[in-house]
Amino acid sequence: MIEPRPNVSVLSLVNQKGGCGKTTTAVNLAGALAARGEPVLLIDLDPQAHATLALGCAILDEPSIAEVLLDEARPIEAIQPAPGGIDLLPASPRLGEFEDVSERLLHPEQRLSRSITALGERYRWVIVDCPPRADGVLCANALFASTTALLIVETGAFALQGALQALRVFEETAERQGRKPPVKVIGTLFDRRTRFARELLVAMHGRFGEEMFDTVIRTSVRLREAPAVGLPIQELAPTSRAAADFDALTEEIMQTLAPSTTESTSSSGPTPAAPSTPTRARG
Ligand SMILES: Nc1ncnc2c1ncn2[C@@H]1O[C@H](COP(=O)(O)OP(=O)(O)O)[C@@H](O)[C@H]1O
Ligand SMILES: [Mg+2]
């Protein structure tokens, strides 16, 4: 048994497929939560560091999530303030090193959970952007730490099959790892201009029912641009359709997945006491 963490919602964004919108959803969900004044930490658990780069941050010498998992830095030392009021625990290529050494460690999959626990009630929300590799130790860490897994599904051709396959992979992985958080489905890259897409959405709701959020994230040029600018959509284009989509999704998530306390219990505030200066790497 792991200890309950009633005051923090840890949401991991998963799908073994790359390019389905995990990072986009992670960054902009964190941005929308922060825009509402919610204390939120975004953890980039992908060695490709796309979420880190999408917020205009790059890791040079400062500690990242890799050093935290390798027990070389405390989580608070690695957290950086990022645009839009998001606190970021950035990724670096050294995450690959953690994957390598984890074979020699006892319970390597519990390290992320331990680090989040060490942050106490500083954050109400922890959003974890997962790598596409579902069977690795990084994803195992995310699942072990999560209060809910968010399965991100691209609503294009074969979306239902894709979603069912992603769910199957998720369940197999979770069972192998002995910890299976509840899962909720979020549809992304939705193009409502086609009847086909609308029918698909109905089919997905039919299959997943309550487990699927009503909000789908529509395809948007602004969302595609945002990572290059290094800003979440709420900062880049607050009145855009994409910002409205993420606001609606955030509303649903706050209604259904908020930690058990309704008021912010963070005594030390949403930002870390002494965050290191982020390294700007604007594209
Ligand atoms: N709703 C969307 N509208 C337009 N482009 C999107 C949308 N969601 C994601 N993308 C783009 O699709 C690509 C893959 O998205 P990403 O979030 O990086 O997926 P993943 O993290 O699952 O690999 C990126 O170029 C991203 O900008
Ligand atoms: Mg990604």
Q: Tell me how far the alpha carbon of residue 118 is from its chain's centroid.
A: 19
Report the range of poorest mean pLDDT among 65-79, 164-178, 203-217, 268-282: 268-282
Comparing 93-107, 117-131, 150-164, which segment has the lowest mean pLDDT?
150-164
How many of the other CB atoms lie within 10 Å of CB of 16? Answer: 19
Q: What is the pLDDT of residue 39?
A: 97
What digits encode the pLDDT tens for the residues 158-210?
Answer: 788 888 988 998 898 888 888 899 999 999 999 878 888 888 888 899 999 99
**Best probe residue, ligand 1, of 15, 20, 24 (max atoms within 8 Å of C-beta):** 24
Fold of 9-257: Rossmann fold (3.40.50)
pTM for the model: 0.90
CA separation, residue 73 to residues 89, 96, 105, 196, 202 (Å): 12, 17, 17, 49, 47
Q: Specify the pLDDT at position 208.
A: 92
Q: Write down the domain spans for the chain.
A: 9-257
| Candidate from 46, 224, 249 with most ligand 1 atoms within 8 A of CB, to mutate | 224
**Is residue 114 within 8 Å of residue 3, measured between CB atoms?**
no
pLDDT digits over 45-59, tens only? Answer: 999 999 999 999 988
